[in-house]
Amino acid sequence: MSYTDGWAAMNLQMPKRIPRIEFDAERHWELIKRVTGIDVGVSSPAELQHRASTAFMRAWNYDLRLGAAVFHEDLGTRRTSMGHAVYAAGGVDYDDNIYCSFSSVEEVLAYDPWEAIGPRDKAELIRRFDESYRTNCAAFPDAVNTTGVYITLVSGMIGLFGWEMLLVAAGTDPEGFGKVMNRYASWMQQYYDALAESSVPVIYSHDDIVWTRGAVFRPDWYRAYVFPNLKKYYRPLIDAGKKIIFISDGNYTEFVDDIAACGVHGFFFEPLTDLQYIAERYGRTHVMIGNVDTRVLLSGSRPQIRAEVQRCIAIGRNCPGYFIGVTNMIPHNTPVDSAMYYNQVYEELCMR
C-alpha cells in the first residue's frame, strides 16, 4: 500500500508506478492464505480476518480505498428490500427477506422524504463523515481513503422503491417521477452540504445510474432530473476544495461527458464503460479507476489475463491519475492461481 503514490495520482502528478485498487480480494480467504501464509477463513474471528486482510492489502500494494458512510439505512423504515443472492464466501450475505413498502404507483409519485424521513442534523452528519473517514484511515493507514454517500440519487430511488416499482412509476409518469427525484435530491443535499464542511478530502459519490446495457431511462430524462441534481450536490464540495470520485456500475459511456460537466474529479467504472473513451477525453485532467474485467480472471487463460492487464495499462500508462483495478471485484470463487497471475503481470508492467 502506498499513500504517496495514491495521493500523487489523485492529484494528477503521475507517480512512477501505476497505482492500484482492488475490491473484495481482501475477503478472498484462500487467496489471502496463499499470499500471507495466515490461516484464515470465513469462520475466523473478525480480528484475525482484519489482520489477514490488512497484510494482504499491503502485500498487493493497495493505494486507494473507496468507502461510504451513508447507505440504505438512512432511508428510514419505509423502503424496499430486494434480498441478496450468495456472493461472499460461505454465503454470509444471503438474504431472502424481500418486500416493498409501496403498493402502487400513486404512492411512489406522492413520496416526499422530507415528510417520510425528516430533516437531518447537520452537525451530526459532519460528525458521522469525519468519524467514518478517521476510522478508514486508522484501518488502512497506507492508502488514500474516502468516505461519502452510496444512495446519492438513482441508487436512493432503488433503495426506496426497488427496481420493479421504480420502473413502473417512471414509465407511467416520467415527469411525476422526476419530481420525486427532485424532492429526494433536495433532501440528500443535506448530506453533501455536510460533506463540504467535513474534514474528508476525497468524496465517494456512488450512484448506479445505468445497468449493463446502458441507460435505464431516456437520455433526455437524465439530463432533466439526474445531472442537474448531481451538479447541485457537487457545487459546495468543489467550493470547499474536495475531490469527487463518481462511481457507478454498468455501462455509462454515453453519460461520461455529462458526469464530467457536473464537476467530478474522477471516474470509477466497470469494464462495460469505455476506458479508451475516458482516457482520450479526460485522461490528463481526471482520475480514472478500474476497468480490468473480472470475468477474465474467473474463466480466462493466462494469455487472456495478461492481455487484459496489458490493455488497461497501455491505455492508462500516460494518464497521471489512472488506478488499475479489477472491476467488478475479485470474488471468492476466482481461481487463486488466476488471481496470483494477475498480480504477477501487474507487478511486471506497473512501472511507467
pLDDT per position as a tens digit, 166-213: 999 999 999 999 999 999 999 999 999 999 999 999 999 999 999 999
- Taking alpha carbons only, the member of 189, 282, 273 closest to residue 236 is 189
Tell whether domain 3-349 is in CATH 3.20.20.210.
Answer: yes
Q: For residue 99, give Cα distances in angstroms to 77, 160, 169, 170.
A: 12, 11, 17, 19
The Cα–Cα gap between 156 and 166 comes to: 11
Q: For 100-152, write each residue's pLDDT tens digit.
A: 889 999 999 999 999 999 999 999 999 999 999 999 999 999 999 999 999 99
Name residue 98's beta-bridge partners. Answer: 82
- By percentage, how much of the chain surpasses pLDDT 90? 92
Residues 6+ apart with CB under 8 A from 303: none
Residue 346 has pLDDT above 60, yes or no: yes
Q: For 9-47, write each residue's pLDDT tens digit.
A: 999 999 999 999 999 999 999 999 999 999 999 999 999
Pairing of strands 287-290, 322-323: parallel
What per-residue confidence (pLDDT) applies to 34?
Answer: 98
Q: Where are the domains positioned within the chain?
A: 3-349
What per-residue confidence (pLDDT) applies to 81?
Answer: 79
pTM (2 decimals)? 0.95
What per-residue confidence (pLDDT) applies to 97?
Answer: 77
**pLDDT bucket at 237, cuts 50 / 70 / 90:** very high
The Cα–Cα gap between 352 and 98 comes to: 49
Phi, psi of 293, rounded to the nearest 5 degrees: -85, 115
